[in-house]
Amino acid sequence: MFPLRDVNPRRGFPFVVVLIIIFNTIIFLQYFDLPEEKVKWLFQIFGIVPAHISLLPLITHQFLHGGLFHLISNMWALWIFGDNVEDRMGHLRFLIFYILCGALAGLFHTITQIGSEVPCIGASGAISGVLGAYLVLYPGARILCVIPIVIYPFFTEIPAFIFGGVWFILQLLNGLVVMASKEDVAGVAWWAHIGGFFVGIFFLSSFLPKSPPPEENIDEMDV
């Protein structure tokens, strides 16, 4: 199940979302064609290595990606869900919220993978926090998704809360499988996704302006 877009209009232009996408892309272009050994060194220094955790990588890992698909899929998800959250928070609040979600998601990954020498990189922890905030703010918004059935793509619109529920169950199941395997292998940082998701929900109210927006979105529903 891959999200293509949401049916949820925004009031303003998502400057911060666009700047984050541009910045991630520029960073990726600086190293994508470097020799493999240099890229590995870069990830070891600026990615999160649970066995050697330090403060700086909690920030810098959010702007590194392991490949073009990794970058595009993350930035696409940020574009879909980030604009409306930035709308509600305001530009500066959203930027701080995004970085905080990514940092705490990385910390959560570290706690669940203590001793691992595999670097964790990518914006998915931060974006998971944005998704968590989006689901609280707009649970009834419609998400256009493509679901591959054998070799045929099936397109359907589903409510955000259903998309989020399926997404979370998949993260949790995969995270439990990885934890049960107890192997130090590279792969998806499922627990960073889970941690970021809960961080986004927990801190959402702290980043919303005190005065409500002039118009509530028609795709919202009471929770």
Q: Is residue 214 part of a domain?
A: no
pLDDT tens digit sequence for 54-95:
899 999 999 999 999 999 999 999 999 999 999 999 999 999
Structural domain count of the chain: 1
Q: Is residue 217 part of a domain?
A: no
Q: Is residue 215 part of a domain?
A: no
Q: What is the CATH number of the domain that holds 33?
A: 1.20.1540.10
Q: Is residue 86 part of a domain?
A: yes
Question: Domain of 123?
Answer: 2-181+189-207
Q: How many Å is the maximal CA-CA distance in the chain?
A: 53
Task: Mean pLDDT check: name the lowest of 67-81, 106-120, 180-194.
Answer: 180-194
pTM (2 d.p.): 0.90
- Report the mean per-residue pLDDT for the chain: 90
Q: Is residue 94 part of a domain?
A: yes
Q: Is residue 222 part of a domain?
A: no
Residue 115: is its pLDDT beyond 90?
Answer: no
φ, ψ for residue 110 (rounded to 5)?
-60, -45
Instruction: Please give the Cα distance from 107 to 49 (Å, whole number).
Output: 10
- Which token pair is 38? 């240099």
Q: Is residue 218 part of a domain?
A: no
Q: Could you tell me which of 121, 116, 136 has the C-alpha nearest to residue 197? A: 136
